Amino acid sequence: MISDNNGGLPRYCHPFHGDWDVARIALDIPESKVLFVCPASCARIIKLNSFLSGYADRIYVLGLTEADIVAGDYEKKTYEAACEIIETEEIKPKALIIYVSCIDAMLGNDHSFQTKKVMEKHPDVNCFVLKMCPITRYSTDLPLVELQNDMYSALPLEKVEKTRTVAFIGANIAPGEDNEIVKLLKANNYRVLHIQASDKYEDYLDIRSSVLNIAVMPFARKACETLKKRYGTEYMPVLLRPDPDYIDGVIKELCSRLDIECPDVAGLREEALNELRSAAKAVEGYEIIIDSTANMFPLVLKEVLKNTGFNVKMIYRDSADTAAPDIDSGHITMPGKRLFVEQPGTLAIGEVANCFSATEKGIKLFYDNGYMGYAALKKLAQLIKEGGKE
């Protein structure tokens, strides 16, 4: 039996998730809308985040009452609400995502009956269920793993003809045009597909046609496995690991898999490291504090920064295990350990470190904001320089 022990202590929570939540990730599916079916409070954070990030018109909430939950009345209401959204909204969604919460996991509800009924009435709408159920984090795969898998499992089963397309799976933000992998693919006439960068539902469907999927986060591996089983698409991980050797290896493997000419990796590497060295000079004397919400591999990032001249003082291991003997490993379990008076000469990479250590300067970065490879290191250097100037 797995029970949440967490060292026997309750959790001290923070609100720093880079303005990302499960709905915003799912809304990367172009022309989609989301209907939350849950106790209203579960969707409060979602709707408020949507105001901050400008997609409030794509979020709907069916607030359940106790009577709905006890009597199971909301199955009918879910169907009615879904149809009302499809039939009355000015912009009709091409995908309607019904999001359920922890209570559905507890009750063991299966909403596929309603989604099927909705699609029978509206065959031009892909209606499917996603789950916002942190309560199940020890009983199934991690919620983010399930989310990515469910998002891509909702693609129609029909196989389509493969095209010269490489799809990025799992990053919240599409890689920029300045990314060396994007440049490399485009230079070799590959279509680079990331649904976050698209406003057409058809691009989501086109994921089926890719010849290679790139799993940008560990969370995306299960989704890539599903896509491989269904559509025969191979995948390779390109994690947000800031280690130059790893990045070199990724570029070489990509070229090998696609049988394309490998670029001057050493040149790219030196350029990125020089940018970091220059950033280190810009914040000379500053103590750097990293947290694992900024980069999933804070220990690796620490090494890269140390080797390019930064003074890394601490790592917050919010979710990563950082057994580093040469460095303070912060893990705020008690609110009294938080600092509220600004600490001069400190720079945080990540909002958790910024808040809990009350650093003088802070860089807002959440899982590298989707930057990967040498482009990520160059972007980090730029942000550090800008942060240093604030």
Cα 68 from Cα 163, distance rounded (Å): 47
Binding of another protein by 71 (CB under 8 A):
no
By CB under 8 A, what part of segment 75-94 binds another protein? 77, 80-81, 84-85
Q: Which stretch binds another protein (CB under 8 A): 37-45, 200-208, 268-276, 298-306?
A: 37-45
Cα 13 from Cα 134, distance rounded (Å): 14
Q: What is the CA radius of gyration of the chain?
A: 22
Handedness of CA 288, 291, 292, 294 (dihedral sign): negative
Instruction: Give whichever of 46 and 305 is closer to another protein, judged by the CB atom.
Output: 46
CB of 91 to another protein, least distance (A): 12
Instruction: Give whichever of 53 and 307 is closer to another protein, judged by the CB atom.
Output: 53
When binding is defined by CB under 8 A, the residue of 25, 62, 154, 301 that contacts another protein is: 62
Binding of another protein by 72 (CB under 8 A):
no
Handedness of CA 293, 298, 301, 307 (dihedral sign): positive
By CB under 8 A, what part of segment 118-147 binds another protein? 132-139
By CB under 8 A, what part of segment 330-359 binds another protein? 334-336, 338, 340, 355
CB of 315 to another protein, least distance (A): 22
Cα 360 from Cα 300, distance rounded (Å): 24
Cα 118 from Cα 126, distance rounded (Å): 9
Q: Which stretch binds another protein (CB under 8 A): 171-179, 329-337, 363-371, 379-387?
A: 329-337
* Core vs surface per residue 358-379: b (16+ CB within 10 A) or e: bbbbbbbbbbbbbbbbbbbbbb
Closest CA to 220 of 148, 154, 155, 167: 148
Instruction: Give whichever of 186 and 338 is closer to another protein, judged by the CB atom.
Output: 338
Q: Are 296 and 217 in contact (CB under 8 A)?
A: yes
Q: Which stretch binds another protein (CB under 8 A): 63-71, 167-175, 367-375, 379-387?
A: 63-71
Phi/psi-derived region of residue 285, left when phi > 0, alpha when psi is between -120 and 50, beta in every other case: left
Binding residues for another protein, rule: CB under 8 A, are: 1-6, 8-15, 17, 38-45, 47-48, 51-52, 56, 60-66, 69, 77, 80-81, 84-85, 101-103, 105-107, 132-139, 334-336, 338, 340, 355
